[in-house]
Structure 1
Amino acid sequence: MKEFLIIDGYNIINAWSDLKKISEESLEEARNVLIDRMSEYRAYIKSEIIIVFDAYQVKGAKEKKKEINGIEIIFTKKNQTADSYIEKKVEELAKNKRNIVKVVTSDLAEQQIVLGSGGIRILPRELEIQYNLMKKKINKISEKNKQNRMILSDRIDEKVLETLEKWRREED
């Protein structure tokens, strides 16, 4: 069984307040932040992630695919919306009944098409909550590991530490 998470990139950028704010300064930076976050998330959830950005109104745009940190990034071709690309991809992936296909979008019509094609819809807010919970868990584990980690100077007598420090200085 394989799990896929397909994300309507600009939909998420416009739905998450911090990404929307970044996009007002630089759309490219907002895309990069989203990709970085989903790279972290991918490592945590162990799903294939596809982020789709549409180039619907970009003159002469051709479909571009690239992989960044294990995430497939798609820029659609001219006159193709992210929605239409996602619909085709869901149908293609859902043909294999062993695949689980989830789509993140706030577009109601897109959600209905995804559900009708055998996919699962996730709202942008749900993904944001899941991502933030993942970050909290990782930070908590990291903090616990820091607290449990002891360095040599915590374990040895102060006089021995002073002697070792003198030896180290003599070597310099």
Structure 2
Amino acid sequence: MSSSITPLLLVDGYNIIGSWSPLKSTRDRHGLEQARYELVETLINYTVHKGYKTQVVFDSQYQKTPSSVEHHSTHLSICFTAWTQTADTYIERVCATFFRRQQINHNRIIVATSDRDQYLTAMGYGAEWMSVEVLAKDIESSRSQVRHKQRSNKRSRGRLLFNCLDAQSQEKLARWL
């Protein structure tokens, strides 16, 4: 899949943290920073598996800081909004830009949130919506698929040392025999 047509997944970060029991529990026990970290770690593998470009958006509206973007991988970045901006307004702006086709880097935008107003706005701009529950189930399904594929790869190699070699080494060994 070409990077110019990669779907963009916009994640309303604090909304997800406040909606997922494990992340809510982490937030309450260990603080917001740890909950953000766990959310990002959860999304990294999911993003690669699904072929998404993901941007996790966090509010910074009550801190007098400019907006910033941190790139955690080629597929996932984190945006902290500017002092006067909410995650909702940031996501709405991205959806509006997509709707006007001013940004053609993505053929789809998916907004992950449980915020009803955000859902209606995103859909109004032609973006797709993914509920918090659906995102959680999809992440678990992706994890399961990856584990199944890893088990299948281990089984298919068999017990012979020959099967553990890369193709080039197997070819050299076969010529010797």
Amino acid corresponding to residue 58 of structure 2 in structure 1: F
Q: Which runs of 5+ in 2 are unaligned?
A: 164-177
Amino acid corresponding to residue 140 of structure 1 in structure 2: H
Structure 1 residues 141 and 78, CA gap change in structure 2 (3 angstroms): same
Amino acid corresponding to residue 57 of structure 2 in structure 1: V
Name which of 133, 139, 149 aligns with 1:131.
Answer: 139
**Structure 1 equivalent of residue 73 of structure 2:** 69
Contact 2:68 2:80 in 1 (8 A): yes
Larger Rg: 1
- Using the size of structure 1 for normalisation, the TM-score is 0.82
Separation in 2, partners of 1:98, 1:62: 26
Query: What SS does the corresponding residue of 2:7 show, helix, strand or coil?
Result: strand
Amino acid corresponding to residue 33 of structure 2 in structure 1: E
- Give the deviation of 1:12 after TM superposition: 0.7
Separation in 1, partners of 2:71, 2:95: 19
- Give the deviation of 1:15 after TM superposition: 1.1
**Structure 1 equivalent of residue 42 of structure 2:** 37
- Give the deviation of 1:33 after TM superposition: 1.4
**Structure 2 equivalent of residue 15 of structure 1:** 19
- Give the deviation of 1:68 after TM superposition: 0.6
Q: Tell me the matched-pair count.
A: 154
**Structure 2 equivalent of residue 170 of structure 1:** none
Separation in 2, partners of 1:120, 1:153: 48
- Give the deviation of 1:125 after TM superposition: 0.6
Cα distance per residue 1:65-117 (max 9 Å; x no partner):
11111212100111211001110011112332972111011111111111111
Q: Which runs of 5+ in 1 are unaligned?
A: 156-172
- Give the deviation of 1:145 after TM superposition: 2.1
- Using the size of structure 2 for normalisation, the TM-score is 0.80
Contact 1:53 1:74 in 2 (8 A): yes
Query: What SS does the corresponding residue of 1:99 show, helix, strand or coil?
Result: coil
